[in-house]
Chains A and B, each alone.
Chain A
Amino acid sequence: MEHTTLAHHLLLAGLLFALGLTGVLVRRNLLVVYMCLELMLTAATLALVAFSRFNRTMDGAIFVFFIITVAAAEVAVGLALIVALYRRRGSVKSDELVTLRD
């Protein structure tokens, strides 16, 4: 166990990703769901950096900067939407979103 290998990194990334996915599917608070989505993106980023390091290619490490930028934009818009919805109806529970139905 002196050296961490690619498998260790991937295992951690996979766990984080599964944690995020479970949260998105199970949790009802939109803010928590959104945090879980970001956790999934972070897990993918971690795997990307690990692959980049162990495959000895720089492209993945550079891709990470783009992902972070995109995620920041997404968070800005996402939080704005969630805050606007909260102001409008005073709750961010996903099971109370029932305006739209047939």
Chain B
Amino acid sequence: MISSLANIDVAFKALAPRNADWASLLPEICVAGLALFCLVQAMALPKSLRWLIPTTARVGLALVMIMALQTGTAWNPAEATPFFAGLTKLTGDSAQGIRCTFLLSALLTSFLAGRFFKERPAPIADYHHVLLVVTAAFMLLAQSNHFVTLFVSLETAAVGLYVLVGYLRRSQASLEAGVKYLVAGGLSSALLLMGIVLVYGSLGAPGVDSLNFDQINAALTAGKGTALTMVGLALILGGAAFKLGAFPFHTWIPDVYQGAPTPTTALLGTASKAAGAFTLLLLVTGPFAPLAPKLAPLLAIAAILTLLVGNLAALATTDVKRVLALSGVSHAGFLLAAIAAVVISGANDGPMLLSIYLIAYAIGTFLVSQALIELPVAEDHQRPLLGLRGLLRRSPILASALGFGIGSLAGIPPSIGFFAKLLILIFLAKLHLWWVFGAALLSVAVSIHYYFAILREAVVRPTDDQDAVVPLEVSFTSRFLIGALSAATILGSLLAFRG
């Protein structure tokens, strides 16, 4: 009895986290600390100093981004090292790209929120708190190496996003979007959990931790997978595809994106989509890599359908936020195509490829969102294309933000969006995935049609409405952001071409 207790003691000591474990998660810990600091400030500061809260959050996020770039190179990037007894795994070099995608999205969302909540009766401190918690959870999610880490961080992010979607408590649209997201998200996480349980159970044996990705990989390589494992795998991939917004799990996207406050819409379109893409990549190249030959055609078909469905639905839409939501579905198709190509080729630069695409997509989305937020509207969820008329005369800088953003989203040559799409298309052509290549090319052509319909309303179409020719005041912060992001769409592609 005593000896077995001593054994347990030894076992616990072996599992206890080391300093290196904590150090590996330093950026995530800092973001979570920052989230708590927001609440402390909200309690401690007098009303006249509340403006400090978003500012500290932004400065903190920028500092963490610098830290993440530094640490990524300091650790041995060549091999992925497991931390916390196998609960997380730092994915080498790519951790930088992944972390920076999420941190950048959070930073830009914070700027959008700062502008958005100026005119609306909702507390900005709480918004920043939840935003930072969600960001930390996404960063952790992309490094998970164990289904407990994966499930807990995915759900932490999901619960935070329910709050951010339904944040405008007085707006029926925001609440309705929140409830729709809640039901769809709850359903997907229940299916995901059942999938995890089936994989765990069907591969489990005494002494095997069949929730750990490395051990699942080993068990599947040894041919221990059963029909139950395959059912579980299908459910798990469905859960990740829901986050990504891939066909057939994309039906929630238009309503939720339309009803959510615009900063949250931008966050959903960038960080949440990024989380889905990285999770899917992590799963199909990690624990389920031995099943790659079976998974690759499935992913390719899902990519083609997602590209087509997203674009066709976007063509028939007249609300700006819905167009952006549905075009986001076709961007998810691009990401799926990249993931399928990575699975087929076995290349290990997948995370970098996804990061470039996602950062390009994020810059475009935030430029368009910034232009939308500056436009005064009665209801945040009603932004018809017609409302953009005369934008060029009212505010040339907003029109140029819309132009640069849409140019990058549509993939017009000098922009970073073009470069990101080109990288994926080259990758697909190299692997002779012609069906996926064709669908991707077709979707670029179709997307130019509906993207430029937005731009045409803002720039070309005349307006008779007297309200629509009143010039718009744009604050210095917004001007600065628009300038920086527009420059980034061009400079980013120059940098990428040189690298």
Q: Are B182 and A67 in contact (CB under 8 A)?
A: no
Interface size on A, residues (CB 8 A): 42
Interface string of B244-277 (1 = CB under 8 A from A): 0000000000110011000000000000000000
Report yes or no: B183 in contact with A77, Cβ–Cβ below 8 A: no
Q: Which of B188-213 contact A (CB under 8 A)?
A: 189-191, 193-194, 196-198, 200-201, 204-211
Q: In the complex, are the beta carbons of B176 and A100 less than 8 A apart? A: yes
The answer on a CB contact under 8 Å between B206 and A70 is: no
Please judge, given known A-B contacts A55-B205, A81-B166, whether A70 and B173 are in contact too, CB under 8 Å.
no
Q: A67-B193, A70-B151, A99-B381 are in contact. Are A55 and B173 (CB under 8 A)?
A: no
Chain B interface mostly: helix
Distance of A34 from chain B, by nearest CB (Å):
7
Known: A37-B187, A55-B204, A78-B186. A88 touches B197 (CB 8 A): no
Q: Does the CB pair A57–B176 fall under 8 Å?
A: no
User: Which residues of B are found within 8 Å of A51, using beta-carbon distances?
Assistant: 197, 200-201, 204
Docked CA distance A59–B210 (Å): 8
Contact residues in B for A30 (Cβ distance below 8 Å): 179, 183
Q: Which residue of B lies closest to A85 (CB)?
A: B175
Contact B204 A37 (CB under 8 A): no
Chain A residues positioned under 8 Å from B423 (CB to CB):
none
Q: In the assembled complex, how far is the CB of residue B316 from the closest CB belonging to chain A, in whole angstroms?
A: 8
Interface locus among B53-61, B317-325, B370-378, B392-400: B317-325
What residues of chain B lie closer than 8 Å to A34, measured between beta carbons?
182-183, 186
Chain A residues in the interface with B (C-beta under 8 A): 17, 20, 24, 30, 33-34, 37, 40-41, 43-44, 47-48, 50-52, 55-57, 59-60, 62-63, 66-67, 70, 73-74, 77-78, 81-82, 84-85, 88-89, 94, 97, 99-102
Q: 18 more A-B contacts (CB under 8 A) besides A50-B201, A85-B178?
A: A24-B183, A37-B186, A41-B193, A48-B200, A51-B201, A51-B204, A52-B204, A59-B148, A59-B210, A59-B211, A63-B147, A63-B211, A66-B152, A77-B159, A81-B166, A81-B182, A85-B176, A100-B177
